Amino acid sequence: MPRSYVSRHHSPLCWVGIDLQANQMEPWGWILLLFSMILYRHLIGLWPHSGEKTPPMYGDFEAQRHWMEITTSLPLKDWYRNSTENDLLYWGLDYPPLTAYVSWICGRVGAALEPESMVLESSRGYETPNNRVFMRLTVIACDLLVYFPACYLVVKSYYGHLLWPRQYEAVALLMVQPALLLIDHGHFQYNGVCIGLTMLSIVAIHRRRWFVGAILFACALNFKQIALYYALGFFFGLLSISIHTSGGSSVRFLLLLGGLGLAVIGTFLLHWLPFCFYKSPEETCLQGMSHVLSRIFPFNRGLFEDKVSNLWCVLDPMLKLRNYNPKYLKILSAGATLLLSAPACIALMRRTPTMRALLYVVDVSCLLLSLLSFCHAR
């Protein structure tokens, strides 16, 4: 491939890939990319994060650190419950169970390295240089474990027919996705885990490992509830696969669809049952899990959220939506979500969805439409 063609149609990353391939250094190219992406993330993390040294809440860096100390300092039954030791108004845990379990793992490591950073109450706003490095490294580690492999596998599955420099370029471009870098490594979040699990799910479905794909997406849902933005696309995609691969056999269709349903239910049970077993003595199993549910779906907030915006926030100054009954607004939100997502989801049902169709529907249609219409919960 001549350089003149590359210069007109590709990024400089493709030039790097061509030079590496010309010198038969493809394996070293991946190592170079890996270390450069780690260094890039580390350099972003050197800048101040949102809320740094800004009491009383300090920002999302403090939220994630606080979740680590909550999960390592309190029994599991109190993670999502308001108490004297766990003030839910101060960055109460409001993500699904998998996030809590990851916070517990990171918190155990953090407590071993710097015990003062994981002491309830006295560690509020804890921002020592060592703790800052540790917290930043936890996000990079999550990218290494989940997001980077997902980028590689998506490109290998979708662009596997292209020349190696083009594949190298595509992987690199996914790894330097600007919004994800700024939010996860500048602002401080772990969105790469949720997005990575979703990408791995699409790869598994493309390779006809449908049950693995269903389990991986259920894990994404249990890591962060924003994965619900993709849920309709995955549901109709798997339903379409069940229909079009059953060969007209009702028995095969029901077995496949039932198996996929059981895989999802089983994954959810693994995440949620600990809150059933480790509960207060006076509570039932459902009451133990209800504390988690009420935190990750705070419907009492209505359509509006004080930290992020959606379509309803834009319409409110003109239509005065806050004056309407919240019950009807929730119905309106659900209806808008279903209506706007319907064309893309119906398109998936026409034939067995390809990877291209899944990527388009899940990452473009359902995501954008849901972002506009879904009742937002942080």
Confidence (pTM): 0.89
Q: Is the peptide bond before 56 cis (omega within 30 degrees of 0)?
A: yes
What pLDDT shows up at residue 348? 84
Contact 201, 238 (CB under 8 A): no
Report the pLDDT value the prediction gives residue 377, as an integer from 0 to 100. Answer: 38
Please name the residue that has the structure tokens 């259920």: 218
pLDDT at 84: 87
Question: What is the predicted pLDDT for the residue at 79?
Answer: 95
Confidence at residue 305, expressed as pLDDT on a 0 to 100 scale: 58
Rounded (5°) CA angle 321-324-329: 75
Give the residue among 127, 125, 144, 147 at the shortest CA–CA distance from 135: 127
Q: Are the C-beta atoms of 93 and 67 separated by less than 8 Å?
A: yes
Please state, as a whole number, how many other Cβ atoms lie within 10 Å of the Cβ of residue 287.
Answer: 13
Please, what are the averages of pLDDT over each run of 10 residues along the chain (378 residues)?
53 85 90 95 89 89 95 94 90 95 96 93 89 95 97 93 92 93 92 95 94 97 90 90 88 94 96 91 88 82 59 76 76 78 82 82 59 46
